[in-house]
Structure 1
Amino acid sequence: MLGLRKEPPLDPQVLEEAAEWLMRLSERELTDHERAEWERWKISTPERNRAWSRATLLQSKFGGLPPSLAMSALDRPNSPERRALLGKLALLLAVVPVSWGGWKLAQSQQWSAGYRTDVGQRRELTLADGSHLTLNTDTAIDVVFDDRQRLIHLREGEILVQTAVDTPPLPRPFLISTRQGRMQALGTRFTVRESSPRTHLAVLDGAVKVTLADNSQAAPLIVNAGQRTDFSAQTFGSLTQADRYAGSWAQGMLMADRMRLADFVAELARYRRGFIRCDPAIADLRVSGAFPISDTDRTLNMLVQTYPVLVTGHLRGYWVTLSPA
Structure 2
Amino acid sequence: MPDPTAPLDPQVVREAADWLVRLHSGEAGDAERRAFEHWRQARPEHEQAWQRAERLQQRFGAVPPALGVPVLTRQARSKRRTVLKSLATISVALPAGWFGYQILRGEAQGVYRAGIGEQRPLLLADRSAVRLNTATDLAVRYTDAARLLQLERGEIYVETAPDAHGQPRPFLVDTDHGRLRALGTRFSVRALDGEDRTALHVLEHRVEVVLRASGERRIFEAGDSVRFSAQSFDGQARPAPGAPNAAPAWTRGMLEADDMRLDAFLQELARFRPGIVRCAPEVAHLRVSGVFQLGDTDHVLDVVAQTLPVRVVRRTAYWVTVTSS
Matched residue type, 2:274: R
2: CA distance, partners of 1:113 / 1:74: 15
2: CA distance, partners of 1:154 / 1:270: 17
Matched residue type, 1:302: V
The aligned residue for residue 198 of structure 1 is 197
What is the SS of the residue equivalent to 1:291? Answer: strand
What is the SS of the residue equivalent to 1:297? Answer: helix
Residue 263 of structure 2 is aligned to residue 236 of structure 1 = no
The aligned residue for residue 307 of structure 2 is 306
Given that 2:108 and 2:124 are in contact with CA atoms closer than 8 Å, whether structure 1 keeps it comes out as no
The aligned residue for residue 319 of structure 1 is 319
1: CA distance, partners of 2:300 / 2:114: 21
> Residue by residue, what CA displacement relative to the aligned partner does 1:88-122 show, whole Å, maximum 9, x if unpaired?
x9xxxxxxxxxxxxxxxxxxxx9621101111111
| Paired residues, number | 218
The aligned residue for residue 105 of structure 1 is none
Given that 1:227 and 1:240 are in contact with CA atoms closer than 8 Å, whether structure 2 keeps it comes out as yes
Residue 223 of structure 2 is aligned to residue 213 of structure 1 = no
2: CA distance, partners of 1:256 / 1:250: 15
The aligned residue for residue 286 of structure 1 is 287
2: CA distance, partners of 1:187 / 1:307: 44
> Residue by residue, what CA displacement relative to the aligned partner does 1:28-60 show, whole Å, maximum 9, x if unpaired?
xxxxxxxxxxxxxxxxxxxxxxxxxxxxxxxxx
Aligned Cα root-mean-square deviation (Å): 2.1
The aligned residue for residue 157 of structure 2 is 160
1: CA distance, partners of 2:276 / 2:143: 41
Gaps (5+ residues) in structure 2? 1-101
Matches within 5 A, 1:71-220: 112-167=109-164, 169-195=166-192, 197-216=196-215, 218=216, 220=217
2: CA distance, partners of 1:174 / 1:243: 24
What is the SS of the residue equivalent to 2:278? Answer: strand
* Identical aligned residues as a percent: 45
> Residue by residue, what CA displacement relative to the aligned partner does 1:53-88 show, whole Å, maximum 9, x if unpaired?
xxxxxxxxxxxxxxxxxxxx967xxxxxxxxxxxxx
Report the CA distance between 1:168 and its aligned residue. Answer: 5.7
The aligned residue for residue 107 of structure 1 is none
Given that 1:292 and 1:298 are in contact with CA atoms closer than 8 Å, whether structure 2 keeps it comes out as no
Compare the two structures and name the one with the higher helix fraction: 1
Residue 271 of structure 2 is aligned to residue 270 of structure 1 = yes
> Residue by residue, what CA displacement relative to the aligned partner does 1:241-263 show, whole Å, maximum 9, x if unpaired?
11126711111111101100010
What is the SS of the residue equivalent to 1:186? Answer: strand
The change in CA–CA distance for 1:111 and 1:304 in structure 2 (over 3 A counts) is closer
Given that 2:108 and 2:125 are in contact with CA atoms closer than 8 Å, whether structure 1 keeps it comes out as no
What is the SS of the residue equivalent to 1:268? Answer: helix
What is the SS of the residue equivalent to 2:154? Answer: strand
Report the CA distance between 1:124 and its aligned residue. Answer: 0.8
What is the SS of the residue equivalent to 1:167? Answer: coil
Report the CA distance between 1:131 and its aligned residue. Answer: 0.9
What is the SS of the residue equivalent to 2:251? Answer: helix
The aligned residue for residue 254 of structure 2 is 253
Matched residue type, 1:179: D
Report the CA distance between 1:166 and its aligned residue. Answer: 1.1
Task: Give the TM-score normalised by structure 2.
Answer: 0.64
Given that 1:140 and 1:156 are in contact with CA atoms closer than 8 Å, whether structure 2 keeps it comes out as yes
Given that 2:103 and 2:121 are in contact with CA atoms closer than 8 Å, whether structure 1 keeps it comes out as no
1: CA distance, partners of 2:222 / 2:307: 34
2: CA distance, partners of 1:133 / 1:160: 6
What is the SS of the residue equivalent to 2:272? Answer: coil
Higher relative contact order (CA 8 A, sep 6+): 2
2: CA distance, partners of 1:115 / 1:294: 22
Report the CA distance between 1:264 and its aligned residue. Answer: 0.2
2: CA distance, partners of 1:230 / 1:260: 19
Matches within 5 A, 1:27-106: none
2: CA distance, partners of 1:323 / 1:74: 41
What is the SS of the residue equivalent to 2:202? Answer: strand
What is the SS of the residue equivalent to 2:265? Answer: helix
Matched residue type, 1:165: P
Given that 2:103 and 2:123 are in contact with CA atoms closer than 8 Å, whether structure 1 keeps it comes out as no
Gaps (5+ residues) in structure 1? 1-72, 76-88, 90-109
Matched residue type, 1:139: T
Report the CA distance between 1:197 and its aligned residue. Answer: 1.4
1: CA distance, partners of 2:241 / 2:178: 22
Given that 1:256 and 1:287 are in contact with CA atoms closer than 8 Å, whether structure 2 keeps it comes out as yes
